[in-house]
Amino acid sequence: MDISGKKFLLVGGAGLIGSHTADLLIKQNVKEIVIYDNFARGNVENLKDALKDPRVKVFDVGGDILQTDILEKAVSQCDGVFHFAALWLLHCHDYPRSAFETNVTGTFNLLDICAKNKVERIVFSSSASVYGDAIEQPMREDHPFNNKTFYGATKIAGEAMIRAFYYRYGLDYVGLRYMNVYGPRQDYKGAYIAVIMRMLDAIESEDGPTIYGDGKEEFDFVNVLDCARANICAMKADASNTFLNIGSGKGTKLEELAKMLLKLTNSSKLIQYKLIENSTLVRNRVGCVKKAKKEIGFVSKISLHDGLMELINWRLKHRASYDFL
């Protein structure tokens, strides 16, 4: 899709990945960027830089994807849509009905409205949560859905619906299955996102970082700036009707992560280990990223070392604007 001179809607655009995508979009020759967010998780502070550009507008502050009349107006005359809005993993665990309404019904609402308004393309934020624990690694896109969480279930439903809309109404899409996203503007509301922030909290307090497990749990940590770039790549690419892993393709054990954070913060504290209490949390998940490179030209660029250093510096600088400690 040629994005030059086009209008884009970012649903959930004030969140972690959405706001960084907005920052990258303003560097493109686009006509207009509309942010649609109920600010339940997103933060106006995340849009501080993007809103300096006159092409960026927030549509009806407080807009929700369950409010179809408002959503219809937001989608109208948009050429492309980025769908980031969703309740996070632990919220879905505690409130499964709300998870269904927002992540499944809300996604249906958006797809239905996009199809009626002849939106040229939608980029859908899915998740590696659809896979659950790894049966084999690295996990390719044809890895079985081994999910055990309500959050993962809603993402599977979203993927199934967007594929159905493609075949029934010709709604063009690319779905992105993010691995473990981290970086500036992240919060404490994602199970795997939060592990980095809570380790940093513990390093600053009297306790050392705590690992729930034996530390051998392995994950694919991908920087949010890479994820934002993947979204732009997905909107521009010729690829269609496809789901792609977005990650670094490299596994990092939690013990390695803790040691890296201790080194980057010049801390001598000791790592503590506790038993895993939540049986639904996965222990291993590293993605194969070959298909994303082939179909949309995406390859992650930011190393975990550099990304964590950037996060640490951002966190120290933005204490007044975000809820830390």
Per the CB < 8 A criterion, the answer to whether 269 and 201 are in contact is: no
Whether 325 and 316 have beta carbons less than 8 Å apart is answered as no
Among 93, 106, 107, 75, which residue's Cα sits nearest to residue 8?
75
Amino acid, single-letter form, for residue 67: Q
Q: How far is CA 18 from CA 12, 318, 325, in A?
A: 6, 19, 24
Round to whole Å and give the CA distance between 311 and 322.
13
Among residues 98, 85, 110, the alpha carbon closest in space to that of 21 is found at 85
Rounded to whole angstroms, the maximal C-alpha distance in the chain is 58
Q: Which fold has domain 7-183+221-249+286-301?
A: Rossmann fold (3.40.50)
User: Residue 278: exposed, middle, or buried by beta-carbon count in 10 A (0-12, 13-18, 19+)?
Assistant: exposed
> Residue 64, Cβ neighbours under 10 Å: how many?
18
- Please tell me the distance from the alpha carbon of residue 250 to that of residue 111, in angstroms, as a whole number: 33
Residue 196 DSSP label: H
d(CA 283, CA 215): 10
**CA angle, 258 as apex, 255 and 260 as ends, to 5°?**
110
Q: Which residues are catalytic?
A: 151
Closest to 141 in 3D by CA, of 186, 175, 173? 175
Cα–Cα dist 110/8, whole Å: 14
Q: For residue 138, what are the contacts with CB-CB under 8 A and spacing of at least 6?
A: 220, 249, 251, 286, 287, 288, 289
pTM: 0.94
What does the block give as tokens for 76?
């109208």
Element (H, E) at 47: none
Over its length of 325 residues, how does the chain's per-residue pLDDT go in tens digits? 999 999 999 999 999 999 999 999 999 999 999 999 998 888 899 999 999 999 999 997 677 899 999 999 999 999 999 999 999 888 888 899 999 999 999 999 999 999 999 999 999 999 999 999 999 999 999 999 999 999 999 999 999 999 999 999 999 999 999 999 999 998 765 555 578 988 998 898 878 898 888 999 999 999 999 999 999 999 999 999 999 999 999 999 999 999 999 999 999 999 989 887 666 678 899 999 999 999 999 999 999 999 999 999 999 888 665 554 4
